[in-house]
Amino acid sequence: MGRAGVWRFARAFLCAWFLAISWLLLPLLGHGGGTARANSFGVRVPILAYHNIDHSGSAYSTSPEMLDAHMVWLQANGYTAISIWQFWDAMTVGAALPANPVLLTNDDGWESALTFAEVLGRYGMVGNYFINSVSPLTADQIRFLAQNGPVQAHTATHQHMSQLGYDAQFAEIADNKAYIEGITGLPVRFVAWPFGDWNASAVEAAVAAGIVGGLGLGGTGCVVGGVDLFNVPRIMMEGPDTIDTFAAKVTAW
Ligand SMILES: [Zn+2]
């Protein structure tokens, strides 16, 4: 068994272990309060991937007005935005989630990430930011985002990770993690894979750098406890989306 094989085995073992432990602990968790679920395994969490928030009309661009309409729709339909940390606690030990959880993510660290934070802030929704070291955002702007939600890794220079060797993969992740932590003073434990592109070696490098989970691109809603922790699916928000296609994407299994 090669290094990748050993790692795959270890990961499968850990997943099974977490699942077993959480089921054993389930009776101890009680029933929680309100609409929270004591054990969230099996709960569907749509994870929405946004990029630019502007009027460019590009494929990866959502207008501020459409983003606002998304938040209105989510609020009207009883969704609660959660942080990547809440999501992680649910994924690993089945920790309680609010009813209709949704995870809102913003990639790359364009200046319009500030617009994203501003629009979400109107609705009390938390955003999760995945930022490259080459992002045009200043340190002050990144600290501002960190006050509005977790700021996490997106690699230093946004390469296709599967096309790099292990050392370069490690440097891309570790350097970016150190860059963000140096600015925010807060822990970085998650990476959003640039282009949704990764391989076994990239996962090994991420783990060696202190990352515990990776987010992909493409796919539908994520089922808690039912996905690879380093290939968590996200739903891409695209320029041509209308509010109806948005609603369909959020609710489709
Ligand atoms: Zn990106």
DSSP string, 135-154: -S--HHHHHHHHHHS-EEE-
CA of residue 227 to ligand 1 center, whole Å? 21
CA of residue 108 to ligand 1 center, whole Å? 5
Q: Which residues pair with 210 in a beta bridge?
A: none
Q: Select the more confidently predicted residue: 139 or 21.
A: 139
- Residue 10: the pLDDT is 55
CA of residue 157 to ligand 1 center, whole Å? 10
96: Cβ contacts below 8 Å, ≥ 6 apart: 29, 32, 36, 37, 38, 39, 40, 90
Mean pLDDT of all residues in the chain? 89
- Residue 221: the pLDDT is 86
**How many domains, in total, are found in the chain?**
1
Residues with CB under 5 A from ligand 1 (ion): 107-108, 194
Q: What is the pLDDT of residues 36-95, one digit of tens each?
A: 556 889 999 999 999 999 999 999 999 999 999 999 999 999 999 999 999 999 999 999
The least confident of 29-33, 64-68, 134-138, 150-154 is 29-33
pLDDT(130) > 60: yes
Q: Using a pLDDT cut of 90, give the percent of the chain over it.
A: 79
pLDDT(127) > 80: yes
Helices (H), the chain: 3-25, 64-76, 84-93, 113-122, 139-148, 166-184, 200-208, 243-251
CA of residue 177 to ligand 1 center, whole Å? 15
CA of residue 216 to ligand 1 center, whole Å? 10
- Residue 117: the pLDDT is 98
220 pLDDT tier (thresholds 50, 70, 90): confident
In this structure, what token pair is assigned to residue 62?
């959502």
Mean pLDDT calculated for residue range 214-241: 92
pLDDT(23) > 80: no
CA of residue 79 to ligand 1 center, whole Å? 26
CA of residue 48 to ligand 1 center, whole Å? 13
Residue-range definition of the domain harbouring residue 65: 3-251
CA of residue 217 to ligand 1 center, whole Å? 10
Mean pLDDT calculated for residue range 163-167: 98
- Residue 36: the pLDDT is 55
Contact 48, 245 (CB under 8 A): no
- Residue 252: the pLDDT is 87
CA of residue 85 to ligand 1 center, whole Å? 20
CA of residue 22 to ligand 1 center, whole Å? 34
Long-range residue pairs from 18-24, CB within 8 A, at least 24 positions apart, any chain: 18/92, 18/93, 19/225, 21/93, 22/92, 22/93, 22/94
CA of residue 107 to ligand 1 center, whole Å? 5
Q: What is the CATH number of the domain that holds 187?
A: 3.20.20.370
- Residue 18: the pLDDT is 47
- Residue 11: the pLDDT is 53
- Residue 39: the pLDDT is 85
pLDDT(22) > 50: no
Mean pLDDT calculated for residue range 99-108: 97
